[in-house]
Amino acid sequence: MAMPQKGSRRIVVDGQAYRWRIPRSATYPQLAYGTAMSFAVEHVNGGSVLLVVCAGARHGNWASVPGTTITPSRVAALIRRARAAGWVPTAPGSAFYLGEGETVP
């Protein structure tokens, strides 16, 4: 399934263009318990989606867990890590999951 273009940001990594997006609304567990923040990445020409689960919580959570900040340089590094772990962004297929310290099957 394609990622919505609205609210996404464009990034070029190693000559390839991608779009990445953090959901506008936090989930209840992210707000109430400070669970991990996540975001999605997709190649501009389509293909499989990369779903990244961050090491930190979303800012503004009710549990007062310190929040994490997602920067373009961090997104680029995670795209490179996912490609090294086997993500082929232009190939159709199911989503590829990546935890910030490991690949999630």
Cα–Cα distances in angstroms (integers) from residue 33 to residues 23, 73, 75, 91, in the given order: 17, 27, 24, 35
Higher pLDDT, 89 or 5: 89
pLDDT at 55: 86
Statement: residue 104 has pLDDT above 60: no
Q: Indicate yes or no: pTM above 0.85.
A: yes
Residue 102: CB atoms within 10 Å: 11
- Reported as type and span, the H/E element at residue 10 is strand 9-13
Section 19-41 average pLDDT: 92
Tens digit of each residue's pLDDT (9 = 90 or more) over 32-66: 998 999 999 999 998 999 999 998 899 999 999 99
